[in-house]
Amino acid sequence: MSVWSSLVGQDAAVAKLDEAASSARAIVASRGASRASDAARSMSHAWLITGPPGSGRSVAARAFAAALQCTGETVGCGTCPGCRTTMGRTNADVVFAATETSIINVETARSLVLQAQSSPSQGLWRVIVVEDADRLGESGANALLKAIEEPPEHTVWLLCAPSPEDMIATIRSRCRHLGLRIPTASAVADLLVREGGTTPEVALEAARAAQSHIGLARALARDPQMRARRREIITAPASVRSVGEAVMAADRLLETARAQADAQVSERNAREKAELLRQLGMDEGESATKASRTMIRQLEEDQKRRSKRALTDAIDRALIDLLAIYRDVLMIQVGGDGELINTDLTDLVHQIAQDSTPRQTLARVDHIETARKRLVSNGNPLLVLEDMAISLRPQV
């Protein structure tokens, strides 16, 4: 199976990446000779891969990195050691950088610059994949700028971000841009069925509910409890009739999102702390030295930032799902002929459409978008959600 098989609905992007990877192989074959060949012109040493959440930015970057390291007869064969180790994230010449906090700090950026200077130890290229490049702070982005502008001939930078505007102009102008699109729900459903473990009906419902976000669709298709939690999160705010119901709905949304975020990070946090204590030669509850306390405190601060981002991401995902309800409502109100996203909530969608006007629906969409912006600006989650939920109730 080719490394490109995991990219769904991205035929144009795959064609460009495959052409570039083939050119990269020609460059390797002709190193020491002229670099101005036509084959070399399709390849760039710095790429900016953009697309909405769920479009597969990181998947595309990893597949491209694998194709660059491929030694098989067909570029991106998926079976040679270069492809397999890169797709498995174990290739020593491919560095993956991401963050589970709100920012990639300058220390991490400088570390990537240093790694980019090293020649490949086994593979054909040194590839630096920055999966959350939009989270580079200004100082971190500036630290990368010179390395991206004048990289060693053996280094390739792959930066992933939701849109070009999420990157500072100086980096954006030095990268070749590749834009991805959201795949269709049917294409995502077909992928889930091919992977196994779900029926076509559940796969399509999950793909629509996830708005073609492949990772989320995969999780929804495999976890009935997650599907139930999603319905609970989005139906409560959409069904409020009074201020009291709105406050309770906001509280339930926050608690459900917090439970989801805790489940996501708690096991890893415990594993990291146990590993640190082992390295320090300490048992749980044992008194620590001054140096040990500093290291433990730093770990706890990192984990706190990770937990905060996980909660913010869980709430934001819930609000995106809530927006999908009103997208369906508006489509019914204006007589659109598109398919519903929330096929499992048809009764609720039609009831809201009947009880409101398109203007009211657009106002509710605006309230939800405002809540998302306030959360990104570190607004108090409960207060933000309460204000939003109150704004969604029918106006008398």
CATH number at residue 70: 3.40.50.300
Residues 255 and 301 in one domain: yes
Q: Are residues 164 and 189 in the same domain?
A: no
* DSSP-based three-state secondary structure for 121: coil
Model confidence, pTM: 0.72
Contact 94, 127 (CB under 8 A): yes
How many domains does the chain contain in total? 3
Cβ–Cβ under 8 Å, residues 122 and 92 = yes
In this structure, is residue 235 part of a structural domain?
Answer: no
- Specify whether the CB–CB gap between 366 and 331 falls below 8 A: no
User: In terms of domains, do 172 and 194 share one?
Assistant: no
Among the listed residues 27, 293, 63, the one whose alpha carbon sits nearest the alpha carbon of residue 158: 63
Q: State whether 120 and 45 are in the same domain.
A: yes
pLDDT at 34 over 50: no
Note the pLDDT tens digit of each residue in 268-304: 788 878 877 877 777 666 666 777 778 888 888 878 8
Q: Is residue 368 part of a domain?
A: yes
Q: Is-contact 180 13, C-beta < 8 A? A: yes
What is the domain range of residue 317? 243-266+293-392
**Looking at the predicted structure, is the pLDDT value of residue 248 above 80?**
yes
Residue 176 burial (10 A CB sphere; 0-12, 13-18, 19+): middle
| Residues 24, 87 within the same domain | yes
Confidence of residue 309 (pLDDT cuts 50, 70, 90): confident
CATH number at residue 329: 1.20.272
Q: What is the DSSP string of 123-137?
A: SS-EEEEETTGGGB-
Write out pLDDT tens, residues 47-71.
999 998 778 899 999 999 999 999 9
Q: 257 pLDDT exceeds 80? A: yes
Cα-only R_g, the chain = 24
Instruction: Residue 184: count other Cβ atoms within 10 Å of its Cβ.
Output: 13
Angle at 236 between CA 235 and CA 238, to 5 degrees: 65
Residue type, position 97, single letter? A
In Å, how far are 327, 374, 391 from 384, measured between CA atoms? 21, 7, 11
If asked whether residues 50 and 164 sit together in one domain, one would say: yes
Region of residue 72 (left: phi > 0; alpha: psi -120 to 50; beta: else): beta
Strand partners, 73: none
Cβ contact 388:237 at 8 Å: yes
Decide if 287 is inside a domain: no
Verify that 129 and 203 share a domain, yes or no. no
Specify whether 260 is located in the same domain as 387. yes
Q: Is residue 272 part of a domain?
A: no
pLDDT at 121: 87
- Whether 15 is in a domain gets the answer yes
- pLDDT at residue 227, as a whole number: 84
- The DSSP result for 178-244, as a single string, is EE--PPPHHHHHHHHHHH-SS-HHHHHHHHHHTTT-HHHHHHHHH-HHHHHHHHHHHHHHHT--SHH
C-alpha closest to that of 65 among 128, 7, 130, 132: 128
pLDDT at 84 over 90: yes
Which whole number is the average pLDDT over 161-189?
90
Nearby residues of 224 by Cβ (< 8 Å), 6 or more positions away: none
What is the signed CA dihedral for 319, 320, 324, 329, rounded to 10 degrees?
40
Verify that 206 and 298 share a domain, yes or no.
no
Write down the pLDDT at residue 142: 87
> Over 80: is that where the pLDDT of 180 sits?
yes
Whether 36 maps to a domain, the answer reads: no
- Within this chain, do residues 213 and 334 fall inside the same structural domain, yes or no? no
Quick one: 66 and 159 in the same domain?
yes
Residue 72, in any domain of the structure: yes
Same domain for 162 and 20: yes
Output the CA–CA distances (angstroms, integers) from residue 200 to 6, 129, 206, 218, in the order listed.
Answer: 18, 34, 10, 12
Q: Which of 124, 62, 63 is nearest to 98 (CA)?
A: 62
161 three-state secondary structure: strand
- Determine the pLDDT at residue 39: 47
Residue 153 lies in a domain: yes
